[in-house]
Amino acid sequence: MENSWLHRLDTYTNETYGRPRSRAVDEQTCVSCGSTARTFDTRYATESYARVGLCQHCQRASAPPADVVVFRPRDAAGSLDAV
Ligand SMILES: [Zn+2]
């Protein structure tokens, strides 16, 4: 089936957010919060909306925080050092 991954994505967003991504993009609304999604801060965010259907606010909310602290695995001495 052509574009079956798009069909699966629609199924996923329908189960997760209650609306299919393709309909949200057609209506220029957000698949998650349902608000109008027409303005984006960056070209990346615009392209990301076309793929996943999340508005600028929801893209920002779903992005990992910038201050995530990554830990190395415990060394032989058992210490846990922040990178
Ligand atoms: Zn949203």
Centroid of ligand 1 to alpha carbon of 67 (angstroms): 23
Q: What are phi and psi of 26, to 5 degrees?
A: -60, -40
pLDDT of residue 12: 92
What residues have their beta carbon closer than 5 A to ion ligand 1?
30, 32-33, 55, 58
CB neighbourhood size of 58 (10 A): 20
| Predicted local confidence at residue 10, as pLDDT | 93
Give the Å distance between the CA of 32 and the centre of ligand 1.
5
Per-residue pLDDT, averaged over 40-62, amounts to 93
- Going from the Cα of 53 to the center of ligand 1, the distance in angstroms, rounded, reads 8
Question: 59 near 49, Cβ under 8 Å?
Answer: yes
Interval between CA 44 and ligand 1 midpoint (Å):
16
